[in-house]
Amino acid sequence: MEKGVNRKRTAADLEAIGVEMGNLPPQALDVEEAVLGAMLLESSCVDAAMEELTPACFYDKKFRMIFEAMSSLVIEHTAVDILTVSDKLKQRGQLEEVGGVIVLADMSSKVGTAAHIEYYIKILKQKDIQRSLITASYQILHDAYDETIKVDDLTDTAQTRIYDAIQSNARKEVKEIGAIINEAMNDISEAQTAVGLNGVPSGFETLDRITQGWQKSDLIILAARPSVGKTAFSLNLARNASVDHHMPVAFFSLEMSSVQLAKRLMTSESGLPAEKIKGGSKLEPYEWKQLEYKIRALANAPLYIDDTPGIPIMEFRTKAKNLVKNKGVRLIIVDYLQLMQGPAELRGMREQEVAAVSRTLKATAKELNVPIIALSQLSRQAVNRQGGNGKPVLSDLRESGSIEQDADMVIFIHRPDYVGISEEPGDKEKTQVIIAKHRNGETAEIDMVFKSSMVRFVETNETLDSQAKMSYASAMNNDGRPFDPNVPGTGGGMPVSNEF
């Protein structure tokens, strides 16, 4: 849907729909007249109306013209009264169409009191939302009968239309600084008394120490070139939060199936070679026991996976909202951003579509008050860049500068051997997790090792604070002792059950 179509619908359109449906469109003409009359009498009413109303809030065409004339006067810093409004309408050639100066004079005389302006404004906004929903629903009904429209486009457009109709009048109240400071003081107080992190743990000590966990309403972009380990790292993050800390996590996979993701998680959780989990070689009997025991916690973790390919951004938003409301999800991961479908009207305009997806992800994180980690591809600039160390920079983010702009944090995964800087055998698994942008904190480079055979990242920094490690360490960062079916403490020496 073209953005703003509902807001530009004329009364004639709604009247035609009303005739077809056998009802008059929602309207309150006497209230419209009262609001305009109050604006002619009191400058405070002009400010209140201009802050809350748009021309579409007025159903009557004449009243809409008058309000638009008043809006022009406000923009020109001209006082709003009968003379100025009539002069502006005359300039536009609309004075006779609205009924002349006598209509304006009659309008101001009918207002009993301007004290009820807020109540009148609320009524007009309600009527406008009703009309917008009627128009959106009618358009959805009309499109649903059109066999030439793809179902995916139909559902995407339908969600967008309803969302736009509802959000068009949603305004957040302005807060006084005193109230905001009280909220900030409460947050600081909670952070000072809390044990551990004030956000969702990543499970990696250095990363958590810098970020204090993934923060509410943040959009975190996790970017790298293909096959560097974005999905593996994001699965580590999902696993650490859901298994070690029992925090519900939603994982939207647009590239890999849920079974493929589960096998990766089972590989990293069990410590068994990936080729055995994939079936490339056979599991020994004790390895079956190891697998069954090790994945129990994973099987009971509050981790929810959606593997809808090419999910439209509005469908994602709806599902995310339901997961937060019904499952208490604390972290959302999207793999990956460029595979999401933007608004239908932007298809074919790739940069604008990706920008719309990025904006919606940030808006969703803010609305749901949860962190969203969105994986993103990097361009080949970092690989082809002459000289330097081959590390990615913010300008390498692919397809849209809006990604960098919308993100609260941008994290790169850098593998020197991947870009051909190092060919030493010992450097093959060396990885740097680079915090390149951090709106609310410091940037940093964290040395890690990617154990590809176990789909697991571990930190290599041996100077990690031991107390911090005890507070929010992750099993993902500790290989532990080898599994022995007869030795307690390694996962062995315990009865094995097929029931998780």
Q: Which residues are catalytic?
A: 255
> What separation in angstroms does the CA of 24 have from each of 16, 127, 131?
9, 12, 10
Burial class (CB in 10 A: 0-12, 13-18, 19+), 221: buried
Structure tokens at 470: 């005890």
DSSP letters of 20-72?
HHTSPPP--HHHHHHHHHHHHH-HHHHHHHHHH--GGG--SHHHHHHHHHHHH
Looking only at the bridges linking them, the beta strands covering 372-377 and 331-335 are: parallel
Phi first, then psi: give them for residue 199, nearest 5 degrees. -125, -170
Report CA 404 to chain centroid distance, whole Å. Answer: 14
Structure tokens at 331: 């972290």
Measure the CA angle with vertex 12, ends 7 and 17; round to 5°.
85
* Intra-chain end-to-end CA distance of the chain, in Å: 46
Task: Tell me 316's DSSP state.
Answer: H
Residue 471, C-beta contacts closer than 8 angstroms, at least 6 positions apart: 195, 196, 197
Between CA 389 and CA 387 the distance in angstroms is 7
Residues in the chain: 500
b/e per residue 449-474 (b: at least 16 CB within 10 A): ebbeebbbbbbeeeebeeeeeeebbb
Residue 397, C-beta contacts closer than 8 angstroms, at least 6 positions apart: 221, 223, 376, 378, 379, 403, 404, 410
Between CA 231 and CA 452 the distance in angstroms is 12
Structure tokens at 237: 């993050």
Helices (H), 311-422: 313-327, 350-368, 381-384, 402-406
Between CA 413 and CA 373 the distance in angstroms is 14
Helices (H), 168-312: 177-193, 205-211, 230-239, 258-270, 274-278, 285-294, 296-299
Q: Provide the β-strand partners of residue 449.
A: 430, 458
b/e per residue 232-266 (b: at least 16 CB within 10 A): bbbbbbbbbbbbbbebbbbbbbbbbeeeebbbbbb
